[in-house]
Amino acid sequence: MKKFILTIAGGGSTYTPGIVKSLLINKEQFPLQELRMYDIDGERQDKVAIIAKEVIKEFQPGLKLVVTTDPKEAFEDSDFIFAQMRVGKYKMRELDEKIPLKYGVVGQETCGPGGLAYGLRTIFPMAELIDLVEKYAKKTYWIVNYSNPAAVVAEAMKRLRPNARIMNICDMPVGTIRNMAAILDVDRSKLVVDYFGLNHFGWFTKVMVEGVDRTDEVRKHAIKHGLLVENMSKVDVQHSDKSWIKNFKNIQYMMELFPEYIPNPYMQYYLLGDHVVEHMDKNHTRANEVIEGREKKLFDAVEEYKNTGKVDLSSFYVGVHGQFIVEVAMSLAFNLRKRFLVIVENNGAVENLSNDAMVEVPAYITNEGPEVVRMGQIPTFYKGLIEQQFATEKLIVDAALEGSYEKAVMALTMSKTVKSALQAKKILDDLIEANKGYWPELK
């Protein structure tokens, strides 16, 4: 069986040990010749690499690991690149969340003004990454991209690098499917779902288990309990923090109002914005929760290793984040035609949306890329919401490419999370100040 060279771009991420673990659990089905970690922050990556090396030692001793800040060393002859960059790290995520909250607007990593701010930071670094991969990697490379905000990144790369071999994915739909599987008491792999929308902005329309339609069971549970199960930590530790419990609970309120389809958890920020803001701690957001949780756990483990030479790898679980990206890569590598929800150019997948929209829909993943499952026409309410969000994302990409302050104000004004153009301007001006050195200049 062919062995692959795989590079994790954003090797300093706290998700990296889980991805490495997932890769090596699947070493028989997806064998690696060499694993590489690449990051522009070498100091942080070196710390994460301590844990990654211990994972390799346990699961596949002898696998060559390269840890580098040099693009040539990172990407030369690579078959796969897992991209998970976070421009500005959690320091900037915290500002993305807290600046809008100052004005009573949703403060969130990928939604609303915070998501647009993150997008403006990520567009050009993502294009640079693609250029490096094009220069050094095999011509048959695939980038499997987790970099957020995925909708904005996908829209921008469609324009800037239209020929890149890039598969844009998000683990939130598969995380939601995992909850549905727990509700139905079946394995996640048994579920086949229909879904339409944009990234972090969509709805599940059908849930099938081995040919049996079980949508109504999930719908009835969601109307009563959201997508919570009795013990969330047994389902997936990754989404069992207090804030995630709240997110899955809020699905109940959306389902009571609009029971036809089951919403992506992120829809709460658009449909329940005032409720979400009212129940947020403006001084302690999700960024703080991650810094004090996942970040602290990893770097505490690094210090423990430095002091004792030992580390407890059982605490570095393989969540859906690590599982999903490896499953997609395996389907690309071996033409498995497995069905996943991915982000693709619409081209009729949702019949009554613009062909150029970057939609999230089911597709069969082949070695040539996705074969999209068509979702037909969608009702007016959902179409209208999606078109508003798509316009928001197009405008923020316009703002980046044109260096346009006016387009950035338009983007924030268009966002359903923002109440007025005056409010949008105030938030934007604060975000410009906070993002000096990260954003393109807006005039």
The residues annotated as belonging to the active site are: 171, 266
Residue 337 labelled as part of a binding site: no
Q: Annotation-wise, does 111 bind a ligand?
A: no
Q: Is 200 annotated as a binding residue?
A: yes
Place of tokens 């987790």: 146
Quote the DSSP letter at residue 441: P
Among residues 286, 275, 324, 337, the alpha carbon closest in space to that of 114 is found at 286
Annotated ligand binding at 93? The verdict is: yes
Tokens 């309990």 -> residue: 225
CB neighbour class for 222 (10 Å; exposed up to 12, middle 13-18, buried from 19): buried
Q: Is residue 148 a known part of a binding site?
A: yes
3-state secondary structure 319-376: CHHHHHHHHHHHHHHHCCCEEEEEEEECCCCECCCCCCCEEEEEEEEECCEEEECCCE
Q: Which of 201, 127, 166 is nearest to 382 (CA)?
A: 201
Radius of gyration of the chain (CA): 21
Asked whether the beta carbons of 112 and 106 are under 8 A apart, the reply is: yes
User: Which residues are annotated binding-site positions?
Assistant: 93, 148, 170, 200, 286
* Binding site listing for substrate: 93, 148, 286
> Annotated binding site for Mn(2+), which residues?
170, 200
